[in-house]
Chain A
């Protein structure tokens, strides 16, 4: 990259096209033009903003208790209070931090693992590829959530780090498979062979020739992995297998069920956290409609047949 930059500074007057910039603006424009992914982007932005400004938005502290217990909605507590006397709305607002963070971090980490394995798997041949093939297929068919439950059970109360680790371990295989298929398609293209003829080392071929052509697929993989991470985290917390002292949407539901919110009729306590999880997951799914359309032109919105 440095060489190209040197060149442009050395030869003023020649305008280089803002290559990367164009690519990103083009992709964003395509996403924005698709009403589904536009809606997704807006919802996601709302959740991220709420997570960042939670301390400003929340009327009370996350674990601040001492209010009337099991109270119904009122002016002081819009969504009522929990069995422990905490403000539900504040918990919901703070809970977004956990889900957004887990989704982002676990999604990112599984995408990185998927990228490393998918790319090398697509690039190598012979016995090594067969071994990776087997391992990936194994991780694909092993049911993720039961494995997470078992691991979580062994690592008593490992907290968020444990949950993220378990999600990454069980969640990378799908992305690796998709990326491998794409790598194989791309490596048979002439420009990859041509790069070898240009004297490019293998790492440069992978990172400069192949990888940039898979951006939309990697993005799709990231959003998919983040979605399942958010759902898995909530599921584990709901079962009480995470750290039940933190405030997340999953733990709110866990405590709600444990304190028999079903019997006391506090439906908001059940309804709101789940809806938040569903909306956050939905926003990512909606964005992926647009991402899919970038990597597969046939899925683009068009006139009916």
Chain B
């Protein structure tokens, strides 16, 4: 049987003036059989998206193919002229983009998007347009009324479904999905992946799923190509990858997956909590021992609600947080989990005084957070610090690491000159950025994502706080970097005795670094308790759905057996 797509020694280079050329894809060869569902996995910068764009001839300047051949149904598509290529897109290869949310023209209705495609290729007679559109919308699970809508009126998940329906309307033999669920909410991600899987089966197209998440890929595909630094390091059936990975890099990626429901959960450098000799009591005493802080500086959230005014006139007010109560004891670590819109980030804002609650009170020790003046807010921030989600946005691109860290040291520690610098270097040491003096002099763009996040953590520690609020601290990092940052947080908590509110949608990381857990849905607490307990024996249906959404290669093994 002839392969539908055959890539031979393909290389793609990025060339822009003033920068060094970057060989993003480096002599890559592989072939796809018709009807296969293949995953293309790699971390950021591995060249997987570049490869995805190259095989659909969508790459744009400054990317350029500088070697190799791409045969689609036996023809080298690199040779095609613009018009043949355009015609090829119907009944040939189609692409669903990474940011499907923005892939639709904001001033055209969904119906017009379909009509544009039908007009361009003429493969559907005008009389068949309506029936065809309705049929396609049904296939991706959307009501036909959606056709009359503008993209701006749809949610992110719906827009991604529309993109899939549009690509499907081309009747492609090969579909490339480039990170189709990355920007979406956890639960939506899973639903979209399910749709893609069932469509691939029913329509019978060959599919390539480009993703950074080996878990997701192993769950859905039959064969996986693992990409690392522009090369394919492993190409094997999913089951073999899972059970018998050959390449070291693949093994490393795999080792970072675990089932949060399991009895024992371990990651590299991260032994299971139960096996560590660190009971909650020990940590609490550690905290008091440190500098005689009394335990009354707990954070107490008491029947707190937050209602935002309606986004537009005539719409309903938004209740972000609905009657939530909890106490974060000194030295404790508490996970706040939920999908986006569950109110977990709003709670962080209420605790840090950025927003004021509509009802109820938040207190830190003796301080009523909602009543604080400017000076007291400063005092609060000295003790309650924040770790941000996006390390690329949390550091000012123009300031050196040293400047960024010096500011809280000067403002809160009252240190000046050499003393301040000494403290900055200590902080860098603490978060494991050595050699410290070199890192102190660097600008954010000279650091990797993981290093940036360490700087963010160092900044949060600078004021010697009692509480850390970590808002999805690892969700923007590559899988292989997450464990390191989580382990750092865990170590700091134990050594420094700080308490931590860990906000996440990722139950695996919650299992690793927290003692207790609260599950939020629509601003309400639906389940709470000991983290290991709750995750092993979830009671609420929402918790179960969140658990099901955790990508888990092991489950793929179960399915395959």
Contacts and interface: CB of A to CB of B under 8 A. Distances in A.
* Direct A–B contact in the complex, CB atoms closer than 8 angstroms: yes
Interface of A: 3-4, 6-7, 10-11, 14-17, 19, 23, 29-30, 33, 189-191, 193-200, 209, 212-213, 301-305
Interface of B: 16-18, 60-62, 352, 354, 378, 381-382, 385-386, 388-390, 393-400, 402-404, 406-408, 410-412, 416-418, 420-421, 437, 440-443, 456, 459-460, 462-463
Given A6-B418, A17-B443, A198-B463, 13 more contacts: A7-B418, A10-B418, A10-B421, A11-B418, A14-B440, A190-B388, A190-B389, A194-B456, A197-B352, A197-B459, A199-B381, A302-B16, A303-B61
A219 B421 CA distance: 34
Contacts of B396: 191, 195, 209, 212-213
Nearest to B62: A302
B151 to A, nearest CB: 21
A208 to B, nearest CB: 8
B419 to A, nearest CB: 9
A63 to B, nearest CB: 49
Contacts of B18: 29-30, 33
Contacts of B399: 19
Contact of B441 (A17, A191, A197): A17
A191 B394 contact: yes
A3 B406 contact: yes
Contact of A197 (B385, B395, B442): B385
A197 B398 CA distance: 18
Contacts of A303: 61-62
Given A3-B416, A190-B388, A197-B381, A19 B443 contact: yes
A19 B416 contact: no
22 contacts: A3-B417, A6-B416, A6-B417, A7-B420, A14-B437, A16-B400, A29-B18, A190-B388, A190-B389, A190-B390, A194-B394, A194-B456, A197-B408, A198-B411, A198-B412, A198-B463, A199-B381, A199-B382, A209-B396, A212-B396, A305-B60, A305-B61
Nearest to A7: B421
Contacts of A196: 381
Contact of A4 (B386, B402, B459): B402
Contacts of A209: 396
A191 B393 contact: yes
Given A197-B352, A197-B381, A209-B396, A14 B441 contact: yes
A194 B403 contact: no
Contacts of B60: 305
A233 to B, nearest CB: 35
A10 to B, nearest CB: 4
Given A191-B393, A191-B394, A199-B378, A302 B61 contact: yes
Contacts of A19: 398-400, 443
Nearest to A210: B396
B397 A213 contact: yes
Q: Closest 4 CB pairs between A and B?
A: A199-B411, A303-B61, A198-B408, A190-B394
Contact of B398 (A33, A193, A198, A212): A212
B533 to A, nearest CB: 33
A4 B388 contact: no
Contacts, number: 105
B354 A200 contact: no
Nearest to A204: B407
Contacts of A198: 381, 404, 407-408, 411-412, 459, 462-463
A30 B18 CA distance: 9
Contacts of B378: 199
A199 B408 contact: yes
Nearest to B378: A199
A119 B316 CA distance: 32
Contacts of B62: 302-303
A10 B402 CA distance: 14
A14 B382 CA distance: 29
A190 B390 CA distance: 8
A168 B89 CA distance: 55
A200 B403 CA distance: 12
Contact of B420 (A3, A14, A189): A3
Contact of A7 (B17, B386, B406, B442): B406
Nearest to A191: B396
Contacts of B397: 213
Contacts of A200: 407, 411
B187 to A, nearest CB: 25
B417 A193 contact: no
A200 B412 CA distance: 10
A10 B18 CA distance: 36
A177 to B, nearest CB: 22
A199 B412 contact: yes
B463 A191 contact: no
A106 B487 CA distance: 57
Nearest to B437: A14
A6 B417 CA distance: 5
Contacts of A17: 400, 441-443
Nearest to B385: A197
A298 to B, nearest CB: 11
A16 B418 CA distance: 14
A195 B407 contact: yes
B454 to A, nearest CB: 14
Nearest to B60: A305
Contacts of B352: 197
Nearest to B407: A198
Contacts of B17: 33, 301
Nearest to B410: A3
Contacts of B408: 197-199
Contacts of A10: 417-418, 421
Contacts of B418: 6-7, 10-11
Nearest to B380: A197
B405 to A, nearest CB: 9
B459 A194 contact: yes
A39 B349 CA distance: 50
A213 B393 CA distance: 13
A248 B532 CA distance: 82
A4 B437 contact: no
Given A190-B389, A302-B61, A23 B16 contact: no
A184 to B, nearest CB: 15
A212 B403 CA distance: 14
B44 to A, nearest CB: 19
Which of B352, B407, B463 has the largest number of chain A CB atoms within 10 A?
B407
A301 B62 CA distance: 11
Given A17-B441, A191-B394, A197 B400 contact: no
Nearest to A304: B61
Nearest to A198: B408
A193 B61 contact: no
Contacts of B407: 195, 198-200
B402 A23 contact: no
A194 B417 CA distance: 22
Contacts of B416: 3, 6
Contact of B388 (A23, A193, A304): A193
Given A190-B389, A303-B62, A4 B398 contact: no
A129 to B, nearest CB: 16
Which of B408, B417, B420, B460 has the largest number of chain A CB atoms within 10 A?
B417
Contacts of A33: 17-18
Which of A7, A15, A197, A200 has the largest number of chain B CB atoms within 10 A?
A197
Contacts of B441: 14-17
